[in-house]
């Protein structure tokens, strides 16, 4: 569905100390494919407008969408969405948008998801889609984040791991609870954690631009075909 339309904030909760999950009621929302995003438009009293894209983490019922917004302290829009926007407020929404960075539950290939920070948001919609479709296609998530308290959807991911439905490998860049020394993902580590080439996985890689581009280059170096690697860049 194209065109701007009003949406109402019906729930909001802090996902981490610096990220907030918003649930929006979007009339005429239509079908949302796992991995799609919406555009949000804010209009100030003087008519100034700002538009930003946010991935759908979950599409609930006929008219609800959830997203999670990471605060960029010097950003224009994200601090407002986290600190000021209240339940009951209205904003404008366009979408759902995107036909490339999606995953359909009928796809038979094993899926390797790779997230940097808030890049986990659209990947979570794929994980949730897989759960609701009850397909047993193998799914793995490699999730790079600063520290455990920055992890989105921790309880839900933990539950899926404990039932054996999903494998999640965390890479902590600043402080780590596990034996691994904190630090950025390396190519060797990526190679050891992702689904092996011979199993012909499909990749969905999302996060800050530099992270996504580095991971995509490494995957190509490791011999994964370009047409199996789909990426989405959040900026930065
Ligand atoms: C398709 C798509 C989906 C997205 N989904 C999400 C989502 O689900 N959750 C979410 O939190 N964000 C998401 N983003 C990013 C979002 O659209 C905004 O860019 C982000 O919220 C920053 O907006 P801002 O107005 O606060 O910062 P701005 O005022 O636009 O930028 C402030 C500064 O931060 C830098 N910057 C902008 N974006 C990033 C970033 N992602 N990482 C690091 N530095 C950055 C800019 O270069 C600039 O220097 C998505 C982006 C795209 C393109």
Is the domain of 212 the same as that of 173? yes
- Does residue 216 belong to any structural domain of this protein? yes
pLDDT value of position 213: 98
23 beta partners: 11, 66
- Does residue 89 belong to any structural domain of this protein? yes
- Does residue 162 belong to any structural domain of this protein? yes
Kindly report the CATH number assigned to the domain that includes residue 133: 3.40.50.80
pLDDT value of position 178: 75
Q: Which of 97, 119, 154 is the last residue of a domain?
A: 97
Q: What is the dihedral of CA 77, 79, 83, 89, to 10 degrees?
A: 10
Residue numbers in the chain where pLDDT is lower than 50: none
Angle between the N-to-C axes of helices 154-162 and 120-133, in degrees from 0 to 180, rounded to the nearest 10: 40
Kindly report the CATH number assigned to the domain that includes residue 62: 2.40.30.10
Residue 149, by phi and psi: left (phi above 0), alpha (psi -120 to 50) or beta?
alpha
Q: Whose CA is nearest to atom 13 of ligand 1?
A: 54
Output the CA 124–ligand 1 centroid distance in Å: 18
Is the domain of 123 the same as that of 77? no
Distance in angstroms (rounded) separating the CA atoms of residues 201 and 177: 29
Mutate to test the pocket of ligand 1, among 70, 153, 235, 236 (most ligand atoms within 8 A of CB): 235
- Does residue 102 belong to any structural domain of this protein? no
Is the domain of 220 the same as that of 190? yes
CB 206 within 8 A of CB 114: yes
- Does residue 210 belong to any structural domain of this protein? yes
Is the domain of 191 the same as that of 167? yes
pLDDT value of position 181: 86
pLDDT value of position 176: 81
Output the CA 52–ligand 1 centroid distance in Å: 7
- Does residue 104 belong to any structural domain of this protein? no
65 beta partners: 24, 59
Q: Which of 71, 97, 123 is the last residue of a domain?
A: 97
Is the domain of 115 the same as that of 229? yes
pLDDT value of position 177: 83
pLDDT value of position 179: 78
Is the domain of 126 the same as that of 84? no
78 lines ligand 1 (CB under 6 A): yes
Distance in angstroms (rounded) separating the CA atoms of residues 32 and 19: 23
Output the CA 70–ligand 1 centroid distance in Å: 8
How many domains does one find in the chain?
2
Is the domain of 170 the same as that of 192? yes
Is the domain of 27 the same as that of 54? yes
> Which residues constitute the domain of residue 183?
111-234
CB atoms within 10 A of CB 236: 12
27 Cβ contact list (under 8 Å, min separation 6): 5, 6, 7, 63
Mutate to test the pocket of ligand 1, among 40, 52, 101 (most ligand atoms within 8 A of CB): 52
9 Cβ contact list (under 8 Å, min separation 6): 22, 23, 24, 85, 86, 87, 88, 89, 90, 91
């Amino acid at each position: 569905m194209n065109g701007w339309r009003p949406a109402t904030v019906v729930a909001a909760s802090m996902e981490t100390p610096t990220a907030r999950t918003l649930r929006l009621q979007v009339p005429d929302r239509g079908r949302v494919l796992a991995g799609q995003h919406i555009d949000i438009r804010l209009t100030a009293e003087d008519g100034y407008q700002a538009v930003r894209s946010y991935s759908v983490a979950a599409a609930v019922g006929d008219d609800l969408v959830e997203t999670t917004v990471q605060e960029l302290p010097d950003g224009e829009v994200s601090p407002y969405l986290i600190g000021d926007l209240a339940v009951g407020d209205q904003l404008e929404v366009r979408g759902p948008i995107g036909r490339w960075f999606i995953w359909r539950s009928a796809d038979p290939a094993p899926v390797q998801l790779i997230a940097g920070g808030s890049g986990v948001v659209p990947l979570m919609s794929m994980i949730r889609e897989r759960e609701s479709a009850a397909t047993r296609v193998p799914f793995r998530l490699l999730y790079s984040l600063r520290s455990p308290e920055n992890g989105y959807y921790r309880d839900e991911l933990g539950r899926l791991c404990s039932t054996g439905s999903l494998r999640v490998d965390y890479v902590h860049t600043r402080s780590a609870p596990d034996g691994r020394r904190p630090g950025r993902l390396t190519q060797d580590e990526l190679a050891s954690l992702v689904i092996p080439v011979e199993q012909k996985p499909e990749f969905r890689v999302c996060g800050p631009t530099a992270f996504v581009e580095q991971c995509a280059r490494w995957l190509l170096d490791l011999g994964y075909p370009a047409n199996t690697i789909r990426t989405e860049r959040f900026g930065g």
